[in-house]
Structure 1
Amino acid sequence: MTYQRLPTGEWHYTLNASMPIADNPEDLPKLSQHRELVRAIAQVNFDLTLSLNSAKNQAINTGNKSAKSAAK
C-alpha cells in the first residue's frame, strides 16, 4: 500500500495485492492461523482519495458517531 497527503489536505491511497476470500467475513481475522477458511485468493487493486472534511460532513449528515470520531 502506498499513501500520500495531497496539497488539498486529502489523502491518496493505492493498493495492488493478493487478498484471501472467506465465506464468512467474521472469519477474516482467523485466516492466518486457520488456512482451511480461505475459499480463494483475489487480486485487489484500489485507488482511493479520502477527504476528512467529506468524512466529517457525511458523519454530520448521517449521525454516524464512529465516522465523527474518525473525522476529528
Structure 2
Amino acid sequence: RGSKGAYLICGDSQLVIRQMRGEYRVRTSHLLPLYEEALRLSSGLDVEFREVPRKQNRAGRLLE
C-alpha cells in the first residue's frame, strides 16, 4: 500500500488477462465481484496485465 511503482501481472489465462485489460466482458455472475475488486485495487496504479504461454509459466507450475 502506498507504493507508486509500476506493476506487471502475468498470467496464463487468456480470458482473465483480457478481462482485466477490458478487452473481454466478465459474464459469470459469481466472478463479477472478484473482477470489480481487482479493478478497484489496481485503479490509480501503473499496472500491466500480460499473457504468458502456459508452458512458460514456471511460477504457475510451481503452485500446482
TM range (shorter): under 0.3
Using the size of structure 2 for normalisation, the TM-score is 0.24
Which TM-score applies when normalising by structure 1? Answer: 0.23
Larger Rg: 1
From the two aligned structures, give the one with the greater strand fraction: 1
